[in-house]
A and B are shown apart, each in its own frame.
Chain A
């Protein structure tokens, strides 16, 4: 029986890293940042090979059958761990909030989904709320602004945790933008199905980012960050974009998202 610390968390928990498809494909650096942060915080880490995506694209497109199949695959791959952690509020929100409701007539899988949901967390909130991480050892001498991604904010209650952790980074100043809680217009397949509406939304977001006078944009969800970085580049902005985990782990040697080597 593993022991617990005063937050009730296991002292050396075995964490399954849910990489998320976008991090896996576009920005492995975020995955390595997650590995570093979790290992530094005392976790034993595994990265199951049998993972691809959380199934959200299918679920949000109304394809319940495929979404359920993928959910079963994730549940089977991750249920052995003490915790499941991923660097995205959106994917982890999918597992936490939506997996259990995907099996209304299947008690067995509903139970398995619910048990997995209970131990699934977004990375930054896991570090802070479950592991009680107080300080990080990183330096980043820039003025940053933080975009609150919607699912993380509203499904997972992620708001204070990334800010508290970023407050520990040497040299970093946080300038809040206006409307940091307003959607950036990504919305998964929304941004390609309704590109014009998405364009207006991301353009509005870029305006808020620019007006914050920050030199770096941070966030906790790669989908939103790819969207905003892409628009910043399109508007020839020099604002750099990183996932917050990269800054917290000190892994900012890699060029920012969308910048050349």
Chain B
């Protein structure tokens, strides 16, 4: 997918003016947070699981080559094929090749963020295939020709009325001419339209929440059942996964599964957790005849060796964005690429380049809520700060901000000069602001006073007043 992360400022400004977005985000936020809270409170072992999950992932990452090779071997012995791709370009070519060999026309898709990374839908369309997103949220945004705005609730930015309009515009060709305005009817209509697609697709592409080295299984976790129809009905099943998705054993994945749904939606388990291992067996009555896994690196092995390696623990639960006040304000599209919110603000610079996304790690108050809720204990704020450091070193910070910071630091490192300057400055500001107690406008403080008044200083600095008191005592 083409990155528009460099347009964050404009895109977030537009988003803030969108009343529909505000309504949609407002509705979603409280639910996600409360449900997670309830689920975590109901599980006394949550913290212990979190610790265990972190250890499992760290262990796996430290031996990643080994586990990937064991995984590959297990897939092969179950009759499946593993394809490796360093770049999204390589991954797209592999997938197109498999689709061509399958003589495919229609390709159903389960939700896959790695698929978004690859821009697989555009590639399939350009090559003459018909990709059909089957997760309801993904389907909605596919109709709207938009990227997802959330990693587990891709259409969270859409209101029901907007979905009604979309369905009305796109479903008439199937003879469905009534406007569906209520949730059950909307869901039903999608079920009807997509059922047909499921049954006629030649290839099904899903993502993977986990890959298991022990068994060679790929796991998807869904609520709708679309992923299962995608990986069972077509002749060919393709799994796309990042190389960090591997975990050693079924026991290990059990531990992490206990965190995933609780953190994402507040469920104890999602409705469908499905393990796929190779193609259908000789004796099976259904299932795909071919099973392919496309393992994508795309910058991940780089992260493994640097200060961002903890990001590879991410299980894509979305809790960080559900609790991020910036994400809640601007929505996912403002971030301009596949991954929004705090995890996206770390991943996007690492995957598409810091110079093309420098706003993302900066547009954060470092309030720490994401880190607090992250089931994998990823220190997201620290990583954002590290990205700012990289940006500072690479001189990506805008000139004015650098100059202002430099000037401030010059004084801050010279306490006596600083105290002299601030004593004078505060005396002036204090007397100017005395009458109203605040400023509505102030030169050089537009960023502040556009949004709020600036309370006036008392007029004397503490250092001055305290010394005076001391000498009077």
Where the two chains meet, the residues of A that have a C-beta atom closer than 8 Å to any C-beta of B are: 19, 21, 23-29, 31-32, 35, 47, 49-53, 55, 57-64, 66, 69-70, 73, 150-151, 153-155, 181-183, 185-202, 204, 226-227, 229-231, 233-234, 254-255, 257-261
Residues on the A chain within 8 Å of B367, using CB? 150-151, 154, 182-183, 187
Residues on the A chain within 8 Å of B411, using CB? 52
Decide: B415 and A50 in contact? CB cutoff 8 A: yes
Q: Quick one: given A198-B451, A231-B451, are A193 and B401 in contact (CB under 8 Å)? A: yes
Q: Quick one: given A64-B392, A257-B455, are A199 and B450 in contact (CB under 8 Å)? A: yes
The listed residue (A35, A55, A189, A260) touching B434 by CB distance below 8 A is A260
Residues on the A chain within 8 Å of B362, using CB? 190, 193-194
Residues on the B chain within 8 Å of A191, using CB? 447-448, 451
Residues on the B chain within 8 Å of A28, using CB? 458, 460-462, 465-466
Decide: B434 and A261 in contact? CB cutoff 8 A: yes
Bound-state CA distance A227–B368 (Å) is 18
> Taking each of B330, B448, B462, which has the highest tally of chain A beta carbons within 10 Å of its own beta carbon?
B462
Residues on the B chain within 8 Å of A233, using CB? 438, 452-453, 455
- Taking the closest CB of chain B, its distance from the CB of A113, in whole angstroms, is 16
Bound-state CA distance A198–B449 (Å) is 11
Which B-chain residue is minimally distant from A230 (CB atoms)?
B452
Decide: A200 and B365 in contact? CB cutoff 8 A: no
Residues on the B chain within 8 Å of A230, using CB? 438, 448, 451-455
Residues on the B chain within 8 Å of A234, using CB? 440, 451-453
Q: Quick one: given A231-B452, A258-B455, are A73 and B413 in contact (CB under 8 Å)? A: yes
Question: At the interface, yes or no: B437 with Cβ under 8 Å from chain A?
Answer: yes
A-B residue pairs, 3 tightest by C-beta: A187-B365, A192-B447, A62-B388
Q: Quick one: given A28-B465, A193-B401, A199-B450, are A52 and B412 in contact (CB under 8 Å)? A: yes
Please classify the interface of chain A as helix (H, G, I), strand (E, B), loop, or mixed, using the class held by over half of its residues: helix
Question: At the interface, yes or no: B188 with Cβ under 8 Å from chain A?
Answer: no
- Taking the closest CB of chain B, its distance from the CB of A121, in whole angstroms, is 19
- Name 13 A/B residue pairs within 8 A (Cβ), A-sorted: A24-B422, A28-B461, A62-B393, A183-B369, A186-B365, A187-B364, A190-B366, A196-B12, A198-B451, A199-B451, A204-B325, A258-B438, A261-B437
Decide: A61 and B463 in contact? CB cutoff 8 A: no
- Taking the closest CB of chain B, its distance from the CB of A24, in whole angstroms, is 4
- Taking the closest CB of chain A, its distance from the CB of B458, in whole angstroms, is 6
Question: At the interface, yes or no: B389 with Cβ under 8 Å from chain A?
Answer: yes
- Taking the closest CB of chain B, its distance from the CB of A183, in whole angstroms, is 4
Bound-state CA distance A66–B410 (Å) is 9
- Taking the closest CB of chain B, its distance from the CB of A200, in whole angstroms, is 4
Question: At the interface, yes or no: B111 with Cβ under 8 Å from chain A?
Answer: no
Within 8 A of A (CB), among B418-467: 418-419, 422, 425-426, 434-438, 440, 445-448, 450-458, 460-463, 465-467
Question: At the interface, yes or no: B250 with Cβ under 8 Å from chain A?
Answer: no
- Taking the closest CB of chain B, its distance from the CB of A158, in whole angstroms, is 13
Residues on the A chain within 8 Å of B456, using CB? 258
Question: At the interface, yes or no: B363 with Cβ under 8 Å from chain A?
Answer: yes
Other contacts beyond A69-B409, A196-B451: 7, CB < 8 A: A61-B405, A62-B385, A151-B368, A154-B367, A183-B369, A195-B450, A197-B330
Decide: B422 and A49 in contact? CB cutoff 8 A: no
Decide: B462 and A19 in contact? CB cutoff 8 A: yes
Residues on the B chain within 8 Å of A58, using CB? 405, 408-409, 412
Residues on the A chain within 8 Å of B466, using CB? 28, 31-32, 35, 47
Bound-state CA distance A85–B178 (Å) is 67
Which B-chain residue is minimally distant from A182 (CB atoms)?
B325
Q: Quick one: given A47-B466, A261-B434, are A61 and B455 in contact (CB under 8 Å)? A: no
Bound-state CA distance A233–B438 (Å) is 8
Which B-chain residue is minimally distant from A66 (CB atoms)?
B409
Q: Quick one: given A195-B450, A195-B451, A257-B455, are A52 and B415 in contact (CB under 8 Å)? A: yes
Question: At the interface, yes or no: B160 with Cβ under 8 Å from chain A?
Answer: no
Bound-state CA distance A258–B451 (Å) is 15
Decide: B458 and A27 in contact? CB cutoff 8 A: yes
Q: Quick one: given A25-B426, A66-B405, A229-B455, are A197 and B329 in contact (CB under 8 Å)? A: yes
Residues on the B chain within 8 Å of A254, using CB? 458
Decide: B463 and A197 in contact? CB cutoff 8 A: no
Question: At the interface, yes or no: B191 with Cβ under 8 Å from chain A?
Answer: no
Residues on the A chain within 8 Å of B7, using CB? none
Bound-state CA distance A115–B467 (Å) is 28
Bound-state CA distance A29–B325 (Å) is 31
Question: At the interface, yes or no: B98 with Cβ under 8 Å from chain A?
Answer: no
The listed residue (B12, B408, B437, B457) touching A255 by CB distance below 8 A is B437
Decide: A258 and B437 in contact? CB cutoff 8 A: yes
Q: Quick one: given A52-B418, A195-B447, are A47 and B463 in contact (CB under 8 Å)? A: yes
The listed residue (A19, A27, A59) touching B457 by CB distance below 8 A is A27
- Taking the closest CB of chain B, its distance from the CB of A70, in whole angstroms, is 6
- Taking the closest CB of chain A, its distance from the CB of B205, in whole angstroms, is 36
> Taking each of A28, A50, A201, A254, which has the highest tally of chain B beta carbons within 10 Å of its own beta carbon?
A28
Bound-state CA distance A59–B386 (Å) is 10
- Taking the closest CB of chain A, its distance from the CB of B137, in whole angstroms, is 24
Question: At the interface, yes or no: B57 with Cβ under 8 Å from chain A?
Answer: no
Q: Quick one: given A154-B371, A198-B451, are A31 and B437 in contact (CB under 8 Å)? A: no
- Taking the closest CB of chain B, its distance from the CB of A60, in whole angstroms, is 6
Which B-chain residue is minimally distant from A257 (CB atoms)?
B455
Residues on the B chain within 8 Å of A196, using CB? 12-13, 16, 451
Decide: B364 and A190 in contact? CB cutoff 8 A: yes
Decide: B437 and A260 in contact? CB cutoff 8 A: yes
Question: At the interface, yes or no: B391 with Cβ under 8 Å from chain A?
Answer: yes
The listed residue (A69, A197, A255) touching B413 by CB distance below 8 A is A69
Bound-state CA distance A25–B456 (Å) is 10
- Taking the closest CB of chain B, its distance from the CB of A37, in whole angstroms, is 15
Decide: B401 and A61 in contact? CB cutoff 8 A: yes
Bound-state CA distance A200–B13 (Å) is 11
The listed residue (A27, A63, A183) touching B325 by CB distance below 8 A is A183
Which B-chain residue is minimally distant from A93 (CB atoms)?
B368
Residues on the B chain within 8 Å of A21, using CB? 412
Question: At the interface, yes or no: B397 with Cβ under 8 Å from chain A?
Answer: yes
- Taking the closest CB of chain B, its distance from the CB of A20, in whole angstroms, is 9
Decide: B385 and A185 in contact? CB cutoff 8 A: no
Which A-chain residue is minimally distant from B447 (CB atoms)?
A192
Decide: B461 and A25 in contact? CB cutoff 8 A: yes
Which A-chain residue is minimally distant from B365 (CB atoms)?
A187
Bound-state CA distance A35–B16 (Å) is 43
Question: At the interface, yes or no: B96 with Cβ under 8 Å from chain A?
Answer: no
Digitize B303-332: 1 where CB-to-A-CB distance is under 8 Å, 0 elsewhere: 000000000000000000000011001100
Question: At the interface, yes or no: B372 with Cβ under 8 Å from chain A?
Answer: yes
